[in-house]
Amino acid sequence: MGMALLGSILILLSSPLLLVQGGANVEETAGSAADRVVLRDGSVLLGQVLPARPTRIEVVVRRDWAEEHLPELASSWQALEERILRRAREDRLDRLRRWRADRVPVRGAADPVVSWIDAELDRLDPGLPADPTPLMLVSIDRREVARVEERPEDRRRMLRQGWRAGFDGVETMPVDRLQEGLQALGFALSAIDPAPIDDLLPIPVESDRRWLARRASTEVLIDPDLRFVRFGGLVLPDSGPAIEVDPAGLAQAVGGLVGNLLGEPGTTDPMRLALARIEGSGRVGAVVTQLELSPGFDRVAVEASLLVRTGPGRWERVAWRRGESRVAELPPGAGGDLARDPQVQTAFRMLEAIGIGRTDPRARRLSLSVGAATRIALDRARSALDADLQEAALRLDRIGNGRNGPGAR
């Protein structure tokens, strides 16, 4: 409610599926969710093709499928994977140790991030063998490929969800049967669920920048104090879909807005102070949601950005999503629920006490409409960015690392 409140104030200033595909003919896959890579020797690889590279084609493949249908290729792919994995595990262990050392403990509170790091350090102990992951990433020379057939993104998402659910034979399962099975398990068959699969793959070799983005995404999904709403020089904590602003915060918001309106000189950028506090706690991520209003107050834009600390006192924006909404597109009566919200009523009383909006009911109605538009734009931007964060973040809810079900990394 807080972002919508801010927008308003600104105007006045199947059960588990059991399917056995057995010896399904891999050529009969036109109605499935898997991409097809046909090699020049006639072999067919079913999986999900990653974004193109100049000389190689990379495909995510279910390990059991590859071993059953392409055993010789699977053996060579696994041998290469093992060599790469040694370096990747060493890098991950080093980064996890540094992350744990950086993170400042919160007195009297259990830290799920530290608990997960400790578990990962044990799991990745160099003295222990690496358990095979459900999926593997294979790289094929383009000269060995005859053709590639990629499915639409909605089908590709369903394949990833089928892998997450642990369905056997998902590569050749008809789409309608796959959809029924996913719905029975409660999967969201839309872009709301990007269905990330990184945790089902071996640990990758990745750059420091990519790792920092993963770490930052994980932190902002776990720690509620890493999200902020900003309008000009005003910064408020963003506690989630329903932003809670206590009376002191509300008074600060109104005071900040009045100061902006009167042209009073600002002090130190409050966002810089917030980022310094985050750095002092050993964390590297923050999400800042920026509100923009058109001069005529007929359009609201919200931009949500992920900031990553890449060095001492240095923050970079690495991902962002934008949502917009127009007041004219709202249905009649939009914003009526905002008028009944106690925080909005308190804000109106504060503004009236200093002589803003006391005698103009039209301004009040417009403010509520802008608040409703702000809520729509906020939902669009936040949902899109959260999907990006979910895709990049490390999964702390690891269930297991076996080949017949979801793992995590």
Find the mean pLDDT for residues 304-315.
Answer: 95
What per-residue confidence (pLDDT) applies to 391? 86
Least confident of 23-27, 161-165, 378-382: 23-27
Tell me the mean pLDDT in the region 366-374: 72
Closest by CA to 228, choosing from 209, 253, 248, 211, is: 253
Nearest by Cα to 3 from 271, 289, 393: 289
Largest CA distance in the chain: 81
Structure tokens at 124: 């990745």
Judge residue 114's burial from the number of C-beta atoms within 10 Å of its C-beta, 0-12 exposed, 13-18 middle, 19 or more buried: middle
The Cβ of residue 57 has, within 10 Å, a number of other Cβ atoms equal to 18
CA 292 to centroid of chain Cα atoms: 23
Q: Tell me the pTM.
A: 0.74
pLDDT in tens, 74-129: 999 999 998 899 899 999 999 999 999 999 877 667 889 999 999 999 988 888 88
**pLDDT tens string 246-305:** 444 444 554 554 454 445 555 567 889 999 999 999 999 999 998 888 887 788 888 999
